[in-house]
A and B are shown apart, each in its own frame.
Chain A
């Protein structure tokens, strides 16, 4: 296949070029590649990114197929421009052993859309009591470990898991949340929670565990990755830790860099997400953290839910936003068009860095590299309409938002898996 006339987003520049793809690899990136009789697509005016990687999604299978399954999640992923996704282990049963890891890998092969990498649990059943079979899961194909949805409460157990995982070169992805400080809270604690009369979650609930994980990483000289950072104080601690040479990486999500907690005031349960959407000061710090490299990755924390899980009182509604089909649009609109990040930086946060952190193939467009590519029209405006989501989860608070950036092709291993 030859992809003609695209604006190719390379590591440090954007060049107009053709891309020759053969046998799932990028063979050549150059102007005026001679025709070879293969299929050609002309993407003049469109941008070609290295295949986007979302290292934090929830696919709900096995166990919660009413919310999402591997097939619907993968369809949503390729529509969102993702060629690789990593799914969190809070399934039922919990992905805490090689059998469930293998099941997910097999389902992903059958579905055959994007690459799906399971993340194994840190502790058995994610109960925070004893370590899960980390080595076994790694051998079966798990790319990281996480008890996402909860933090490992016992610091000693977290220390041992981080230490043990180091020996297998597998990273801990830490969901940072002190449940005692959350104390039943459902939204960020501040003016908006007071106005709405909803129980607040203080920043400290997230920050204390971020601090603990950084301390453990330093003590053990082990790498740690902080999930879905939402607080300005968390950004500051991670920045300081990086400067001190501690092996910490971090991610954030579109809902933390684009909106503030004022959106909870109308009790739209689709705004309920964990950690909660916070204040302007946090949003600005997240933007700064993305800009200065403190925050390495943009992930969606795609958390699809059934309508029944959201059509209840705010306190009772499930946490989570279905975000995989809007992620690139948010990045283009709120980061690129807003002048916060360059396209190279967006490609870094949404492809290169996740690949580096988890040791995945791809992440950049280079000759000899895997032909995972995302082609998008960045000037096309569209309106978010969850009824058009292919994900089973229609739970977004962003219906009606106008975004730039429409995915035109998602190419995985040289094959077109999605075409608009």
Chain B
């Protein structure tokens, strides 16, 4: 059982908590694979999915997770709601609480927003990504995917390449992986490295070779066109030529290294198609891990609220 009301980030999660989520997620993943899609631990519960930012993958993944568990789900897209009429996050939270929500799953473009919501509401808040801060369930699904492939996270070398500065995925992975005994190497243009990330344990590299040599996991992060437009690097072509991963670069990694990407992928920018579709790419496996990890997080938070997981 998690000793927390909310899952806002992995910054304050313990190794035990992460292990507990991954263990339960592993079970769920097996059951889903076996075609079991009704595991009604959250029957009678309500989960509101409140997204202030566009998302397909994460939103549908959370919705599937909640539905497989038998919860009633409500989708709020910020653009079509009272939010568009200028309602504050605090007021939206109070309204959702008054509707006796058990879970609020929120994505928000601003760092720390889930902390404000969590402080306001009685419902358990799950952070589905907040600005440049964290995306805990994405890191958990990455860790589940790695753990299932390698058996353990301990001692793994994980290389993360791409827009690290604006990536909540990189940060949640950095926090989570280190707690589980893995090492995180990072490589990106200097303009896309956040200040002080090395003080959080990230090993900053000077080349793709240094980042990938001996790596067990190669994780690409999406390079957004708007970063180039904001001047962080001269062109997508120059990025790909100097920072992208193709099959030749991939050869620096261990022969059994796997390839991950939180999606959506820019083919030919951070990873070439040859890498994305590589036999060792686990990008598609990440999707099912995502549903399983979110089911586990919901169940364990439900237990923390006094509910039961059978």
Residues of A whose CB lies within 8 Å of any CB of B are 189-200, 266-267, 308, 311-316
Contact = CB atoms under 8 A, between A and B. Distances in A.
Interface of B: 11, 88-90, 108, 110-113, 115-116, 130-134, 168, 171, 194-197, 199-200
A316 B86 CA distance: 12
Contacts of A315: 110-111, 131
B168 A189 contact: no
B89 A200 contact: no
A182 to B, nearest CB: 14
Contacts of B89: 312-313
Contacts of A314: 110-113, 116
Given A312-B90, A313-B108, A313-B116, A197 B132 contact: yes
A192 B171 CA distance: 13
Contacts of B88: 308, 311-312
Given A200-B195, A313-B89, A195 B112 contact: no
Contacts of A313: 89, 108, 110, 112-113, 116
A267 B115 contact: yes
B112 A197 contact: yes
Contacts of B131: 197-198, 315
B130 A267 contact: no
Given A311-B88, A313-B108, A314-B110, A194 B196 contact: yes
Contacts of A198: 111-112, 131-133
B110 A194 contact: no
A195 B201 CA distance: 12
A-B pairs, top 8 by smallest CB distance, nearest first, are A197-B133, A191-B196, A197-B111, A267-B112, A194-B194, A315-B110, A197-B132, A313-B110
B178 to A, nearest CB: 14
B168 A197 contact: yes
A316 B110 CA distance: 9
B116 A267 contact: yes
B110 A196 contact: no
B111 A196 contact: yes
10 contacts: A191-B199, A194-B200, A195-B196, A197-B112, A197-B130, A200-B195, A312-B88, A312-B89, A313-B112, A313-B116
Given A189-B195, A267-B116, A314-B112, 6 more contacts: A193-B194, A194-B194, A197-B131, A197-B134, A199-B132, A313-B112
A409 to B, nearest CB: 40
Contacts of A194: 171, 194-197, 200
A191 B196 CA distance: 4
A30 B194 CA distance: 61
A235 B143 CA distance: 46
Contacts of A193: 194-196
A115 B132 CA distance: 46
A266 B115 contact: yes
The winner among A266, A313, A316 for most chain B CB atoms within 10 A is A313
Contacts of B90: 311-312
A190 B171 contact: no
Contacts of A316: 110
Contacts of B115: 266-267
Contacts of A189: 195
A197 B172 CA distance: 11
A383 B88 CA distance: 32
Contacts of A190: 195-196
B117 to A, nearest CB: 9
A267 B111 CA distance: 9
B116 A195 contact: no
A195 B11 contact: yes
Contacts of B195: 189-191, 193-194, 200
B170 to A, nearest CB: 11
A191 B201 CA distance: 12
The winner among A192, A199, A266, A308 for most chain B CB atoms within 10 A is A199
A197 B171 contact: yes
A311 B115 CA distance: 12
Contact of A195 (B113, B130, B200): B200
A199 B110 CA distance: 9
Contacts of B171: 194, 197
A308 B91 CA distance: 11
The winner among B11, B89, B110 for most chain A CB atoms within 10 A is B110
A192 B168 CA distance: 15
A315 B112 CA distance: 9
Nearest to A193: B195
Contact of A312 (B116, B168, B194): B116
B145 to A, nearest CB: 23
A196 B133 contact: yes
B63 to A, nearest CB: 24
B279 to A, nearest CB: 35
A191 B132 CA distance: 13
Nearest to B164: A194
Contacts of A200: 195
A315 B200 CA distance: 23
A313 B83 CA distance: 13
A190 B11 CA distance: 17
Contacts of A191: 195-196, 199-200
A391 to B, nearest CB: 23
B174 to A, nearest CB: 10
A305 to B, nearest CB: 15
A185 B194 CA distance: 13
B205 to A, nearest CB: 17
Nearest to B111: A197
A331 to B, nearest CB: 30
Contacts of A192: 196
A33 B90 CA distance: 61
B49 to A, nearest CB: 19
Contacts of A195: 11, 196, 200
Contacts of B168: 197
A65 B258 CA distance: 60
B224 to A, nearest CB: 15
Nearest to A279: B196
Contacts of B110: 313-316
The winner among A189, A196, A200 for most chain B CB atoms within 10 A is A196
B200 to A, nearest CB: 7
